[in-house]
Amino acid sequence: MKTIVLLLAALALWQNWDKIDRWLNPPQAGNGSGEIVLYATQWCGYCAKTRELFAEDGIAYREVNIETDAAGRARYQALGGRGVPVIDLRGQVIHGYDVRAIRAAY
């Protein structure tokens, strides 16, 4: 019985290690480089709207495709990404397409 409990505990730890690791080592909020980073996918309509907004406003940014860039996906997850787009505007993180919040962060 003791062995089964230990195995179940080990399985639970293994399955939730990413959450435990984030709790033990909280991510830094945003980037400190002053760079604007768009975490996005190719198929996302709101990501396309964000690209259009940046183009319209003449904003230089770096895009990270979270489906093809493993390191980028890890940074996206560390920022609490649950959907796209996630925008890191010089350390201020915006989840979703919110024109007023994005423009206020410029």
> Consecutive 10-residue runs of the chain (106 residues): their mean pLDDT?
84 75 59 82 97 96 96 93 93 92 90
Query: Phi and psi at residue 87, in whole multiples of 5°?
Result: -120, 125
- CATH of residue 100's domain is 3.40.30.10
Q: Residue 2: which H helix or E strand, with range?
A: helix 2-15
- Identify the domain containing residue 79 by its residue range: 36-104
Structure tokens at 58: 């003449």
In single-letter form, the type of residue at position 94 comes to I
Q: Could you report the per-residue pLDDT of 53-76, keeping only the tens digit for each?
A: 999 999 999 999 999 999 999 999
User: What does the alpha-carbon distance between residue 22 and residue 29 come to, in Å, rounded to a whole number?
Assistant: 12
Contact between residue 55 and residue 38 where contact means Cβ atoms under 8 Å apart:
no
Residue 17 lies in a domain: no
Query: What integer pLDDT is reported at residue 43 of this predicted model?
Result: 97
Quote the mean pLDDT of the chain.
87
CB neighbours of residue 89 within 10 Å: 22
